[in-house]
A and B are shown apart, each in its own frame.
Chain A
Amino acid sequence: MVSRMLPLLILAALWEGLTRGGLLRPEALPPLDRVVLRWLAFVVQGDLWPHLGASLWRQAAGFLLSVVVGTGLGIGMARFPSLQSFCEPLLALTYPIPKQALIPVFMIWLGIGHASKIAVIFMGCLIPIVISAFHGARGVDPYLIWSATNLGTSRRRLWWRLIVPAALPDILSGIRIALSLSFILLVTSEILAARAGLGYLSFFLGESGAYEEMFAVVLTVILLGYAADRAYHRLMHRLLVWHRM
């Protein structure tokens, strides 16, 4: 584990060395130890918490909502052909829209508080989840379905006991894409217009010239995104122990 992460430590040492050695001006790249100290001060004095809380609430609300709705809709589309023929063209239409471009519209509709960010994250995460759930549920091995039906599984049970579990690997990998997308949309929407949140805080600090603090916030966001992805990866492995990954 340590040797795997050694390159990152080397980068950090390089950062520290270059700035301490005077090769880079501290305004351009503040020394890492000072950034870390700022970060600790942020945490201890509690200035970071309201922003972290606002960001996490927006991300969690939009993301979880899209997981629930997206999985349901995707599986529903696989189950009911009429729903599929209704939704598929709409998905094809909305798929190429970069969801960041919707931020100004949601700002017009919902203001610059929590609601517009949650809506943007929800919309952005929805489509990859729907598509992967749909393809997962559609792509179940027909032999499995035939054997189950032959053995007397009812149609309802078939969906819950066979098709949803068999689609789970696809659903979970779609959700993983959505997870990293949710952080991108969160940060972008907070930079564009907000009064709280990590994205807002990093831009505000940058514009006021507090670069050490800004780097501390940027590192927080990077760590947050990475930690969420790792945690999700763990969860995926646990849910799919029965599946050949």
Chain B
Amino acid sequence: MVRLRRTLSNSYSVLLLFLVWEGISRAGLVHPFLLPAPTAICLKLVHLLVHGDLGQHLIVSLWRTGLSFIVAVAIAVPLGLAMAHIRLVRWFCEPIIAVGFPTPKIVFLQILILWFGFQDLPKIVMAAVEGIFPIVSATYLGALGVDRYLLWSARSMGTAGSRLLWKVTLPATLPQIMSGVQIALPICFIVIFVTEMLMGGGGLGDAMMLAQRFADSEGVFVGIVMVSALGYAAMRGVACLRHALLRWHPETQEWHA
């Protein structure tokens, strides 16, 4: 009860926002087409989930996200490690990443449509490309910064080759890899959503743009709520994954202490 009260008093501004919003649109100060009331949006969300095809769109978006994310991790982690250990790879990839990271890669979408058609593939490739950058740079920097003494002691005790990679370098780099992954998963999800907005072909983004085209503002806001909630869930999910994978790491130990 005390906790509930504290939460309420801490987030009074959010409550105020929703009350004012609800009041404005219920009182008819703003046309509901421009700003539907929060309660109306919630009802619409439930209605679309139960009676509409929002669930199907959700599943489509999620599997696209999952696939693109797996592809991104599968490419980015080995690439990052290779950049840290093989000079030629580093020399080749560093300028490409330096140019590619800050640029708006979504502009490639039209090219990907040209190459891969209008279905799932260009969306998944686009999201994977966007997800690769944060993971590669985090993995690369992490693997460069692995404690030399760890490597030396492992080597002096006879660890070599792939065992050194699996038993020492990879676990020691895992915190940084996970930092990259934590950035990449929401990015993959958002990019899938955006490509669906731009290209159609099912999914939450497509559903939202359809709602806009049919002047269904409630549907548009339902799209915003869905994508925000799922993006947030993705962030929390990877944070939990980090916690589980790094149970042995001092950062988790500190967390518990």
Contacts and interface: CB of A to CB of B under 8 A. Distances in A.
Contacts of A101: 193, 197, 208, 223-224, 227-228
Interface in A178-236: 179-180, 183-184, 186-188, 191-192, 198-199, 202-203, 206, 211, 214-215, 218, 221-222, 225-226, 228-229
Contacts of A211: 114
Given A5-B95, A7-B93, A206-B110, A105 B104 contact: no
Contacts of A206: 110-111, 113-114
A105 B224 CA distance: 9
Interface stretch (B11-19, B63-71, B238-246): B11-19
Interface residues of B, number: 49
B201 to A, nearest CB: 15
A109 interface: yes
A85 B10 contact: yes
Interface stretch (A67-75, A89-97, A161-169): A89-97
B217 interface: yes
A100 B239 CA distance: 23
A96 B235 contact: yes
Given A104-B212, A107-B212, A221-B104, A89 B10 contact: yes
Interface string B172-214: 0000000000000010001001100110000000001100100
Contacts of B190: 98, 100
A102 interface: yes
Interface in A96-116: 96-98, 100-105, 107-109
Given A97-B228, A199-B107, A4 B114 contact: no
Given A7-B94, A104-B209, 7 more contacts: A4-B94, A90-B17, A101-B193, A108-B212, A108-B220, A218-B110, A225-B103
Interface of A: 4-8, 10-11, 27-28, 85-87, 89-90, 93, 96-98, 100-105, 107-109, 179-180, 183-184, 186-188, 191-192, 198-199, 202-203, 206, 211, 214-215, 218, 221-222, 225-226, 228-229
